Structure 1
Amino acid sequence: MKKLSRFLSFLSAFFGLLTLIRSPKGRAGGVIWLPKLWAGAWAPFLAIAGGLGALIGFIRGDREAAVSGLFGAFAGIKHTVRVTKRQDAFELAFGKDWGQRIDPDLWKRLSRPYQLIQPSKPFGLYQRDINIGDAAPLYCDLWLPPSEVKRTRLAIIYLHGGLWQAADKDFLSRPLFSRLVNQGHVVMDLAYSLAPEADMKKMLNDVKHSIIWMKANAARLDIDPERIVLMGGAGGGQLALLAAYSSNIPSFQPKRVDADTSIRGVISIAGITDMDAYFHEYGEANPGQPESSSTITEDMLPYIHDKTWLDKFLTRLRAFPAYRYSNIPGGALLLVNLFGGTLNEVPKKYRLYSPLTYVDSCCPPTLQIFGDNDFVIDASQGRKLHHALQTVNVPSVYIELPDTVHAFDQYIGVSRRIAPAAQTATNDIEQFLAMMV
C-alpha cells in the first residue's frame, strides 16, 4: 500500500509540476513539449491520483506521499479549472444575445463545455480518397452526418497542421469530426500539397480549388454554398485565414477558373498570421536558418533518405514526407524554400502570404484558439490579428487557453475526450459553427 501511495503521489506531483512550468522558447521548449502536453491532457485524473495517494499517505503516516499527493491534486485541479473557465469572447464578438441566435435544436446538440469524460459520438458516413483535382490529383475525405441527424447545410473544409511540410488528412482528427458531423455539418478533410515539392502559392491554390469544388457540388452534398467555413491548425490555420481573407483576389484565384471563393467564416487553431514575425520566431527554434541565401551551405540543402528500411518505410507515409528531406522537426530552410528567399531578400513575399495583410471590413467572422504557452507559434500571432479585426469591426472570437502548449487539440496516446483544453476548444468550435449556420 505504501508503494502504491508513493507511486500515485509522486506521479501526480511530477506531471502537476509540468502544468505549472512555462515552456521556454526555441528548441528547449521542444524538450518538455510532449510530457507537458500529456500532463495537461491527463490533469483531472492526475488530480484524482494525487488525492488518493495523499489520503493513503495520511492514513499510513507517510508524510512525503501525503504532501506530494496534495501538491499533485492541487496542480491538476488548478490546470483543469483555468483551462475550462468560460471566457466572454463570444459576447464581445457577437453581442450579449449571441446564444439566442443559435437554433434551439442545434444548441441542444452542442457539447457541454467540460465533462470528466466526454461521451463518444457515432461516426457519420465516410468517403475516402476522393480526387477533386483537375490538372493534378488533389485528394480529400468527406465526412457526412449520420442519417438520423438533422443537417445544418453548413460545410467545413479542414486543413491539417504540420507547418506546411508534414501530416496528412485523417491525422488525429476523427474525434473532432465525429462531433461536428453529429451537429449536422459536412466536413471535407483536404490533403493539400506539401513542401518542399509545393510552395505557398500551390498550397493556397489547392485550398481555393477545394472551395470551388465544394460549391459546385453543394446540391449533391446537401449544403448551402454560402455556408462554407475554413478551419485549420498551425500551417493549416495560416492557409485557412489567408484563403478566407483573400477571396476572389485575381492573383490568388486558380488559373482558368472563374468562380467565387468567398466563405462564411474561418477557424484558426494556432495559425500563423504574420510571416515577417514568424521568420524570426522560426529562427529561434532553428538557429541554422540563414539571414541570406549566400550563407546556405551544401549540408543544409534537402536530401532524400533512402538507404535503410526505416528510411524506406517513412518515405512512403505522407504523414512524414519531410523526413525524406532531412526536415524534421523543421529544417533550417523551410521558410526560405517556401518563399524563395529569406525575409531580408524577399520581404514582399512574406507579406504577400501573411493573413494580416488582407484584413479589412470585408473579412468573414473569425475564431482563433491559441495556447498561451505555445513554443512553436507564439500567441502574439493571434493577438495581432484579433486586434486588427476588431479595428475594422469584423466579428473576431479570440480564445487563449492558459498553461496550454502547441497541439493541445490533437494527441498521441491520449483521448481528446478527456483533455480539458481539447474539450474547451471543441465546444468553442461548435458554438462558432452554430453561429455560422
Structure 2
Amino acid sequence: MLAWVILRGPVTRKEPSLMSYALLAIGVAALLLTLNARFPRRHPLLLLPSFFSGWLSTELAPHLLVAEAAGIAATVAYGGLEGWAGWTGLALGAAGTAGTIATILRARRTVVTLRECGVPLDLDPERAPRYPLTHLIVPPLCLIPRRGVQARRNVVFHEQGRLRLKLDVYLPAEANSEEKGPRPGLMQIHGGAWIIGDKREQGLPLLNHMAAQGWVGFNVNYRLSPRATWPEHLIDLKHFLKWYREHAAEYGADPEFLCVTGGSAGGHLTAMLALTANVPEFQPGFEDVDTSVQGAVPFYGVYDLVEPGPWPVPMGATALMERMVVKKPFRHEPEAYARASPANYLREDAPPFLVVHGSHDSLIPVAEARRFVERLRATSASPVIYAEMQGGQHAFDVFPSYRTARVIEGVERYLTGLHRQYVTGARPSAPPSIPDEVSDSLG
C-alpha cells in the first residue's frame, strides 16, 4: 500500500475557489429567502427584515427565480463547483429555487381563493382584457398611467391656512358618454403606519386597472403623524368626501356613488370611513354633509386597537400609537383608542365590505382580519366577503405581481357588481352563484 501511494504521488484535495464561495453564498441566500417567505419571523429584532425580504421574495418570486437560476448557472460555469463549498452551495441553491417555485404555485391559488370567497371572476364578453402582462414582467411600469388612462395630479381638495391637501385623479382617457351616465368613483387611501406614505406610491395598480374599466379613481393624501394627531387623519379624508360631493361631476364621476379602499393604515382608515358615516365628531364644521360610501375594500388593515386578540399587547398600547398617532396613554385613556377602532362602529346599515388579507402577513396577523369579519357579519345586513390570500405578505398589492393582478381583477368585478345594483336600485347582495355556506364562511 505504501509503495502504491509513493508511485501515485501525494493525494491532494481541491480547495474551494472564490467562485465556489460565491455559489455557496447564493445557495444560502436562496434557501433563507424561501424559508422566510414560508415562515416569516415576528420577533421584534427580525420583524422588519423578515417583512421586507419576504415581501420582495413572495410578490416578485418569478423575478427572484430568474435571478437565482442565473446566479447559480453563472457561478457553476466559472468554476463554482470546485471543492466542498461549491457542491454545498449547489444543493442549497437547488432547495431554494424549489421553494421559490412553490411560492409561485401558491400565488396561483389566488383565483381559487377569490372564487371560493364569493368574488365574481367571470369576464363579460365586452370587457377589456386582463391586467397587462407587461406590468407583471416590468413592475415599475405601474407608475405610468396605462394605455387609455389619464392622470391629473396634485389637485387640491382642502385648504385651511397653510394646509393644502392634494389628490391624484385616474380616469378613462375618452370623454364620458352621456348615454352611459356618470362613472362610479373609487377613493384610494395609502398606508404607512399613519406616519409615512404618499399618493404617488400605493394603489397604483388598482387605480390604473379601475380607470381602464371605466371608473374614476382618487388617490388621496392626508396629514401624517407625528405632526397630525388622531382623528385628524380621518377628518382630512372626510373633507375629501365633502369635496367629492361638490366636484365629482367635473371628472365625470357620480357624486352619489363612491367606494373606498386602502391598505394597512389605509385599510384601518378605509374601515373607519365606511363605518362612521355622518358621525359629527369626525366632520367638525361640515356635520350636515353626507359622508357615506357605497362599498369598502380594506386590505390588511388594523380593526381593533383595544382588544389584543392576535397581538402580544393591544395595538393601542404600542409606542407608535401612544407617542406618535393618538398621543394618549393607553392605560389611562383606553376610550380614545376605542373611538379609533373600526370594530366599535359596527352597525346594521354598514355598506358592503370585501376584506382582503394575506395568510403570511408578518406585520398585521391574519387573525386580525378574521375576527373583524366575524363581528361585522354578525352585525351588518350588507354582504361581507372575506378573501384570505394564501402565502400573501403585508402590502402584497404594491407590486403588480400575479397575485396582485388577480386580486385587482376580482376587486374590480366585485365593485362593478355593486355599481350595477346601485344603478338598478337593487339591494347589495353577494353573487347569487356562490352557495351561502361558502360566502358565509371565513375562508
Shift of 1:231: 1.1
**SS across alignment from 2:158:** coil
RMSD (Å) for aligned C-alpha atoms = 3.7
Match of 2:321 among 300, 312, 334: 334
Shift of 1:399: 2.2
Equivalent position of 1:124 in the other structure: 149
Whether the 8 Å CA contact 2:195–2:225 is kept in 1: the answer is yes
Shift of 1:89: 5.8
Match of 2:57 among 39, 45, 68: 39
> Partner amino acid for 1:35?
S
Question: Unmatched 5+ residue regions in structure 1?
Answer: 292-330, 411-415
Whether the 8 Å CA contact 2:186–2:215 is kept in 1: the answer is yes
Q: 1:115 to 1:166 in 2, by over 3 A?
A: closer
Equivalent position of 2:204 in the other structure: 174
Whether the 8 Å CA contact 1:265–1:436 is kept in 2: the answer is yes
Structural mapping, 1:105-120, within 5 Å: 105-106=126-127, 108-111=128-131, 117=137
**Does residue 375 in structure 1 map to residue 362 in structure 2?**
yes
Shift of 1:245: 0.8
Provide the C-alpha distance between the structure 1 equivalents of 2:39 and 2:256, rounded to a whole number of angstroms. Answer: 44
State the Cα deviation string for residues 19-68 of structure 1 (Å, max 9, x = none): 2232224342113222222211332244455567788979x897545533
Please identify, of 222-231 and 119-128, the stretch whose mean Cα deviation from structure 2 is larger.
119-128
Whether the 8 Å CA contact 2:309–2:368 is kept in 1: the answer is no
Provide the C-alpha distance between the structure 2 equivalents of 1:245 and 1:402, rounded to a whole number of angstroms. Answer: 27
Structural mapping, 1:170-209, within 5 Å: 170-209=200-239
**Does residue 82 in structure 1 map to residue 106 in structure 2?**
yes
Provide the C-alpha distance between the structure 1 equivalents of 2:293 and 2:189, rounded to a whole number of angstroms. Answer: 15
Question: Unmatched 5+ residue regions in structure 2?
Answer: 1-18, 420-443
**Does residue 138 in structure 1 map to residue 178 in structure 2?**
no
Whether the 8 Å CA contact 1:273–1:385 is kept in 2: the answer is yes
Shift of 1:254: 3.6
**SS across alignment from 1:161:** coil
Equivalent position of 1:216 in the other structure: 246
Shift of 1:257: 4.4
Match of 2:394 among 406, 412, 435: 406
Equivalent position of 2:42 in the other structure: 24
The number of residue pairs the alignment matches comes to: 384
Structural mapping, 1:52-91, within 5 Å: 64=88, 66-86=90-110
Please identify, of 141-150 and 17-26, the stretch whose mean Cα deviation from structure 2 is larger.
141-150
**SS across alignment from 1:226:** strand
Shift of 1:405: 2.6
State the Cα deviation string for residues 117-156 of structure 1 (Å, max 9, x = none): 3896337222222221153532212222222898881111
Provide the C-alpha distance between the structure 2 equivalents of 1:218 and 1:53, rounded to a whole number of angstroms. Answer: 51
Whether the 8 Å CA contact 1:49–1:69 is kept in 2: the answer is no
Provide the C-alpha distance between the structure 2 equivalents of 1:378 and 1:163, rounded to a whole number of angstroms. Answer: 15
Equivalent position of 1:165 in the other structure: 195
Equivalent position of 1:355 in the other structure: 342
Equivalent position of 2:4 in the other structure: none
Equivalent position of 1:322 in the other structure: none
**Does residue 397 in structure 1 map to residue 378 in structure 2?**
no
State the Cα deviation string for residues 157-184 of structure 1 (Å, max 9, x = none): 1111111111122124434432222122
Q: 1:148 to 1:89 in 2, by over 3 A?
A: farther
Compute the TM-score of the two structures, normalised by the length of structure 2: 0.74
Q: 1:53 to 1:6 in 2, by over 3 A?
A: farther
Provide the C-alpha distance between the structure 2 equivalents of 1:242 and 1:135, rounded to a whole number of angstroms. Answer: 23
Compute the TM-score of the two structures, normalised by the length of structure 1: 0.75
Q: 1:54 to 1:134 in 2, by over 3 A?
A: closer
Shift of 1:201: 2.0
> Partner amino acid for 1:260?
D
Equivalent position of 2:9 in the other structure: none
Whether the 8 Å CA contact 1:20–1:403 is kept in 2: the answer is yes
Shift of 1:74: 1.8
Provide the C-alpha distance between the structure 2 equivalents of 1:278 and 1:204, rounded to a whole number of angstroms. Answer: 23
Whether the 8 Å CA contact 1:123–1:178 is kept in 2: the answer is no
Equivalent position of 1:387 in the other structure: 374
Shift of 1:396: 2.0
Equivalent position of 2:12 in the other structure: none
Equivalent position of 2:8 in the other structure: none
Shift of 1:265: 0.7
State the Cα deviation string for residues 207-240 of structure 1 (Å, max 9, x = none): 1111121122232221122321111111121111
Q: 1:273 to 1:104 in 2, by over 3 A?
A: farther
Shift of 1:200: 2.0
Provide the C-alpha distance between the structure 2 equivalents of 1:130 and 1:115, rounded to a whole number of angstroms. Answer: 26
Provide the C-alpha distance between the structure 2 equivalents of 1:160 and 1:278, rounded to a whole number of angstroms. Answer: 24
Provide the C-alpha distance between the structure 2 equivalents of 1:231 and 1:335, rounded to a whole number of angstroms. Answer: 26
**SS across alignment from 1:227:** strand
Whether the 8 Å CA contact 1:44–1:116 is kept in 2: the answer is no
Please identify, of 118-127 and 344-353, the stretch whose mean Cα deviation from structure 2 is larger.
118-127
Provide the C-alpha distance between the structure 2 equivalents of 1:430 and 1:149, rounded to a whole number of angstroms. Answer: 19
> Partner amino acid for 2:189?
L
> What percentage of aligned pairs have identical amino acids?
23
